[in-house]
Chain A
Amino acid sequence: MADQPLIYARGLVKRFGKFTAVDGIDLEVAPGEAFGFLGPNGAGKSSTMRMIGCVSTPTSGELRILGMDAVRDGPSIRARLGVCPQLDNLDPDLTVRENLVTYARYFGLSRAESRRRADELLEFVQLAERAGGKVEPLSGGMKRRLTIARAMVNDPDLVLLDEPTTGLDPQARHLLWERLFRLKQRGVTLVLTTHYMDEAEQLCDRLVVMDGGRIVAEGSPRSLIETYSTPEVVEVRFPGMSESGARHAAALEGVGKRVDPLPDRVLVYVDDGDAALAEIQRRGLEPSSVLVRRSTLEDVFLHLTGRTLVD
């Protein structure tokens, strides 16, 4: 069991009519890993998650979850999964605690065990004080925490989180990340989708970048940055940039490994920021501002999936 991947996919495809949402992906997720799907909207992340959650049947390919066949053994697999969907589907007419107890019963837990788990998890997600209250008046962050508590009610081997912090304010996001980090420390295997780079860097040991239904890159956040970006990025702004962007980009050519002109600034991907600054000065360029920063996953993401807006 220890060496067996929790998720194993080969040539996984999902088509809806003529539209191919997932176009032949291979995956392996090991026990205890925190694994992320990164990608723009429509990249196929949620479709993949739904297949892993055994609520959507793969069009073709092999998919094994917890050593079982995703198509044949759906109920047995779902019994050991925890799912936090993108859209909240809590019962608004039940109390906070009833939501957990009711859900625990779906997994066949005894009444006493369901109540015990509910109280323990409300404590964990810091909602114990709201236990007897309705779900409706809870804030977005509280509802999401309750959904995560609900996903944990059967003590799952694998937790699936589809965009867990989308739409939450920064405080709520940080609290949620901290709770998820604790789950990770307890050895719970987490699989999440996100389009927040900071979330992926915070939570994921390993991630894949998806675009157009395919996996375009795979690795740890660090290794992805090393492979697809440079250690540092210099952001250079010039006075009156918008009219003369291309000319400025040309002037910076050769300063670093790659130059990426944006409407308001030019990004120069470099190994050493200070050396690049010296070079810019040596060339006699007069930028209005220069910022040296470390490369982030966002740079990798934008490099791999492009800057075109996807709706």
Chain B
Amino acid sequence: MNNKTVNRGKIILSVVSLTLGFILAFSFSVSQNRNQEVAVNSATFGQTESVRQELIEQKERNKELSEELRDVQETIREYEQQAGSNTSSLDELVKEAEALRLLTGEVSVKGEGYRVQLEDGEYDPDQVNPNDYIVHEGHVFMVINELKIAGAEAVSVNGKRIHETSYIRCTGPVITVDGETFPAPFIIEAIGNSSTLSEAVELSGGILDQLKGQQIRIQTEKVSELMMLSMHES
């Protein structure tokens, strides 16, 4: 009888100590987790702050450098112009350099040109997928390619000059051109023979018809005087 009571007491005590151990260990692990979270949070915060600071510094440095680059290029052009006026044999070379600079977007250009404006289609409640009627970066590519094939000397998208290392990326409802984000409508301007450019784009069965088939609203316009900034300024 006595033995039985001792056993029962032991079992009860075991249950109690099990509960106690569980509670202690559980609250220990919970507070451990919380401490870790706090540590992680503060570490990430500091990191973000320092990275942001670095970014600001880099941007300022970038700005300084691009200004310096512009100054230097201005001087080079002056030198070349002087050289060109001195010797007629160099004249050709200077002209060639000038033409190449137009293509690479190193200098600002003025001249007749052509403008294409791409706009998202009307919102259509029947259309489930909005991708079917918004302008994608692919459409912009198509127009730029067509303009370049038709002999455009300089091309810009929403005022951003396109040069040989330009990139255009789809970033959701907007596109990114060389790190700058632009929403629709996208205005693509090209400098060159405006009638050639317009014929190339408006060719029946050509790019204009293709885009219209994809519910995109397009406006085109021949412009007698277009001003395009250099890649460093735009």
Note whether A and B form a binding pair: no
Residues of chain B having any CB pair with chain A under 8 Å: none
